[in-house]
Structure 1
Amino acid sequence: MLDFSFTEEQEYFREILKKFAKKELLPHYTKWDREGKFPRHLWEKLAELGVNGLRIPVEYGGNGADCVTTGIAAEEIGRGDFNLTYGVMLNGLIGEIINHHAREELKQEWLPEIAGGKKVVGIAVTEPAAGTDAGGIKSTAVHKGKEYVLNGEKSGISVAAYGDAFIVFAKTDPELGNRGISAFIVPRDLPGVECKEYEDMGNIPIGRGSIYLNDVAVPEKNLIGLENMGFIQVMNGFDLSRLLIGLQCVGAALQSIDETIEHVKIRHSFGKPLAKYQAVSFPIVTHYTKLEFVKWQAYRGLWLRDQGLKHSKESSSVKWLGPKYSQEAIHECLLLNGHYAYTKEMPLEQRLRDVIGLEIGDGTAQANQMVIAKAIFGKEFRTY
């Protein structure tokens, strides 16, 4: 039996987030970009709504929600404030990693703080010479006594400028390659941690940047899971974050389409509404259809994850096409709204800048196509 419906609880949750996004997020979406500020108070507001702890168990202050419900949050918050959706995506990924792999002491220390919006935690995998090839990281973690000493540079890290801590992946046994990577919780205030913010094109309130680790002594207890098992932990987590990113982008694009439909209904040209012209309505229909396809593939992938079934190719297809179709739709909406949409008086130009960033983050189009090719052709046909 196929059932494409949401539960009553999920629909209720969606309505709460929809109202919150429209009333409290959408009117101020461009403000944080213009001012270059991270709206920590809204991050805390998400916690009050239960959004930050969706993938964190109830016993640690979270909601213990399923992945489909988490996807609903990504889509609806994405409609109101694309950048605030990092509170869904990052916390979902990090919540799973800590809950599934960390020792009890770390769970009790960090999960309630994340769920309550008191701590903002980033994930630091990417390096200057290791992006798509996450297994090629050069950062090291040397075990000395009751500490690990970390050295290296992480680049392109979301919330680098504002995070209270980071899950850092480093080589604990360089001779093992991908199998020699471990994960650590590294508080920002440890000696030797230095963060530098980028001047990005978009996602400005997220404070993306580099993290420099210079002889950072991390307590042994901050190791997440088993030594040399970090690569496996993060790769599985990316299947979740890629699905959430797809819905985050689709939410922003569908909001843009809704706004544009209202515009072309009331804007007249040659005596009739713009919506009456097929050259206007058909492109909107095309983008809407593509976005709906991606949206339902995303929810299917989240459902598969909830069932414990394989979903890597579904996740990669959503991550590949979600940002791509979304930026194309937003671009079209910008053009259909005319020259005012090219100004910073409207949110369209910011949505376009913001969404383009996620055509790169969490795996490029090419990287995700490689995952899909491996799944449908089989490992024996790999050429990479």
Structure 2
Amino acid sequence: MDFALDEAMQHDIDSAAEIATRIAPGMAERQRAGRIDPDLVREMGRKGLIAPELPRAFGGRDGRSLATGMIAEQIARGDLNVAYVQIIGSLVGQVLARNAPEEIAARWIPHLTSGAGIVAIGLSEPGNGSDAGSPSMTAHRERGGWVLRGTKSMSFAMHCDAAVVFARTADGSRGRGLSAFLVELDREGITRRRLPDMGTTAVGRGLIDVDGTWVPEGHLLGTEGCAFTQVMQGFDFSRALIGMQVLGAAQATLEETWEYTSTRTAFDRPLSSFQGLAFPLAEAETQVAAARLLCQKTLWLKDNDLPHTKEAAMCKWWAPKTAYDVIHQCLLSHGQYGYLTDRPIEQRLRDVLGLQIGDGTAQIMKLVIARHCVDREAAP
């Protein structure tokens, strides 16, 4: 495996690191405001940091998936929420590049890679949770297009310009008869409702209610009735990116905690000189490094067109859990100061917790892994 960085990759990672340093002081304000400044999103686009793995024709940089993950990690050091702009851009950008008609791809992929706006993805629903293959949203043909009805739960629901949504277009068992559509969210019949999440509020997660909304035939993505198989392939990529994202937040917290424990004293000694404090942090460094290598391996496999579904599922359940455990330990290592809301630790803890749920729970990821290790008849 080759994790070496060429000059272009290093430049982009350095740009992401510079942005992270600059945005870190505003993390709490973005949390309170429940939004990410559109100017910041546009800056990320100008610097080529949103979906850089996409072709240059779509506004990408023909980069490696590995570099995209490293960029996500750097941005998340400043604010995990801002990094999610890049991750959703990569997920949706690849879905559109593989499945959208030429006209839709040419319009919407540069829109998201440039940072002009955000295109979200609507797979989950309030009533189906992890059972993404059984959506209640329906779509039927009418007036030369499709009429959609139902509700989707999605990140960036309050701020995105459009979304890729999944709907049932034919009867079928779980995962069959589903189609995907690109839906502009200013169309008639669409309303938005914010959800009062305990973390990641800057990404504006909410519900999108779609009541008889019409979209043209050309907004169908991929083959009718085959969306679950075709479009779900992109989630292997985003699961590895999420792993890098949460590890960026964990690494930043670790570095802050080493600094704190080495400068604060008790019993006339630095806190870091006590094994009871230093050893848990040493273990945390090891866990973060190991999880990072797993994510990097998964992205390397993708870059080399090798199977990586099992590894991506490992990234998605283990990295968020590791990041949460590490940040929790760092909070405890700060003592009473770690419990204050004017420090970033408590917000990172809440933000990372959400990614143990969103984009695939640990239980679903372990099911995916098990089914790659034994025959389906012998799997859970």
TM-score range, shorter-chain basis? over 0.9
| Structure 2 residue aligned with 1:273 | 270
Name the residue aligned to 1:81: 79
Equivalent in the alignment of 1:52: 50
Q: Is the 8 A contact 1:53 1:116 kept in 2?
A: no
Tell me which amino acid in the other structure corresponds to 1:18. A
Q: 1:168 aligns with which of 155, 161, 165?
A: 165
Letter of the aligned partner of 1:372 in structure 2? I
Counterpart-to-counterpart distance in 2, 1:6 and 1:93: 23
| Map of 1:20 onto structure 2 | 19
User: Aligned to 1:174, what secondary structure does the other structure show?
Assistant: coil
**Map of 1:337 onto structure 2:** 334
The Cα of 1:118 is off from its aligned counterpart by 0.9
Q: Deviations over 1:246-268 (max 9, x none)?
A: 10000000000001100011000
How big is each residue's C-alpha offset from its partner over 1:132-181, in whole Å with a ceiling of 9 and x where there is no partner? 221111110101231100001112x1001111111010011123541211
Structure 2 Cα separation of the partners of residues 279 and 160 of structure 1: 44
Secondary structure, aligned partner of 2:133: helix
Q: Give the CA deviation at 1:55.
A: 3.3
1:56–1:111 contact (8 Å) kept in structure 2: no
Kept in 2: contact 1:53–1:64 (CA 8 A): no
Aligned counterpart in structure 2 of residue 213 of structure 1, from 210, 215, 219: 210
| Residue matched to 2:140 | 142
Give secondary structure in 2 for the equivalent of 1:263: helix
Secondary structure of 1:148's match?
strand
Give the alignment partner of residue 105 of structure 2, picking from 104, 107, 114.
107
1:253 and 2:250 matched:
yes
Once the 2 structures are TM-superposed, how far is the Cα of residue 212 of structure 1 from its aligned partner? Answer: 0.7
Partner SS, residue 317 of structure 1: helix
Q: State the distance in 1 between where 2:361 and 2:135 align.
A: 17
Q: What one-letter code is carried by the residue in structure 1 that aligns with 2:165?
A: V
Greater shift after overlay, 261-270 or 131-140?
A: 131-140
Question: Quick check: 104-113 or 248-257, which moved more?
Answer: 104-113
Q: Which segments of structure 1 move beyond 6 Å, counting only runs of 4 or more?
A: none
**Equivalent residues in 2 for 1:208-357 (5 A)?**
208-357=205-354
Show the 5 A alignment for 1:60-209: 60-155=58-153, 157-175=154-172, 177-209=174-206
Unaligned stretches of 5+ residues in structure 2: none
Deviating more after overlay: 58-67 vs 77-86: 58-67
Instruction: Give, in whole Å, the separation in 1 of the partners of 2:178 and 2:378.
Output: 26
Amino acid at match of 2:111: E
Per the alignment, in what secondary structure is the counterpart of residue 309 of structure 1? coil
Output one character per residue of 1:96-128: Cα deviation in whole Å (capped at 9) or x when no partner. Answer: 000011111111111111111112111000012
How many Å separate the matches in 1 of 2:167 and 2:358? 19
Q: Give CA-to-partner distance per residue, 1:325-352, whole Å, 9 cap, x none.
A: 1011111111111222212211001000
2:144 counterpart letter in structure 1: K
SS in 1 for 2:136: coil
Residue type at the aligned position of 1:224: L
Give the distance between the partners of 1:12 and 1:163, measured in 2 at CA.
28
Shift of 1:11: 2.6
Tell me the number of residue pairs that the alignment of Structure 1 and Structure 2 aligns. Answer: 380
Contact 1:46 1:87 survives alignment (8 Å): no
Q: Does 1:43 align with 2:46?
A: no
Query: Are the aligned partners of 2:148 and 2:212 in contact in 1 as well (CA < 8 Å)?
Result: yes
Q: Is 49-58 or 270-279 further displaced after alignment? A: 49-58
Which deviates more from structure 2 when the two are superposed, residues 371-380 or residues 99-108? 371-380
- For residues 140 and 109 of structure 1, the distance between their equivalents in structure 2, rounded to whole angstroms, comes to 25
SS of corresponding position for 1:55: coil
Structure 1 residues not aligned, in runs of 5+? none
Partner Cα distance (2:144, 2:297) in 1? 44
Tell me whether 1:360 sits opposite 2:357 in the alignment: yes
Instruction: Tell me how far apart the structure 2 counterparts of residues 17 and 152 of structure 1 sit (CA, whole Å).
Output: 38
Q: Distance in 2 between matches of 1:126 and 1:17?
A: 30
Instruction: Tell me if 1:6 matches 2:31.
Output: no
Q: Which amino acid aligns with 2:206?
A: G
Q: Which amino acid aligns with 1:73?
A: I
Q: Which amino acid aligns with 2:9?
A: Q
Q: Could you list the per-position Cα deviations for residues 216-257 of structure 1 after superposition, in whole angstroms to 9, with x for gaps in the alignment? A: 101111111111121013321110111000100000000000
User: Do the aligned residues in 1 keep the contact of 2:12 with 2:49 (CA within 8 Å)?
Assistant: no
How far off its partner does 1:36 sit? 2.7
* Matched-pair contact (CA < 8 Å) for 1:39–1:205: no
**Identical positions, percent:** 37
Over the aligned positions, Cα root-mean-square deviation in angstroms equals 1.3
* 2:3–2:300 CA contact under 8 A, matched in 1: no
Deviations 1:340-365 (A, max 9, x none): 22122110010001000000011101
Give the residue type in structure 2 aligned to 1:296. L
How far 1:280 moved relative to its partner? 0.6
With normalisation by structure 1, the TM-score equals: 0.96
Q: Within the alignment, does 1:380 sit opposite 2:348 as a pair? A: no
Mean Cα displacement is larger for which, 97-106 or 230-239? 230-239
Cα pair 2:73 2:248 within 8 Å, conserved: yes
**Distance across 2 between alignment mates of 1:10 and 1:57:** 15
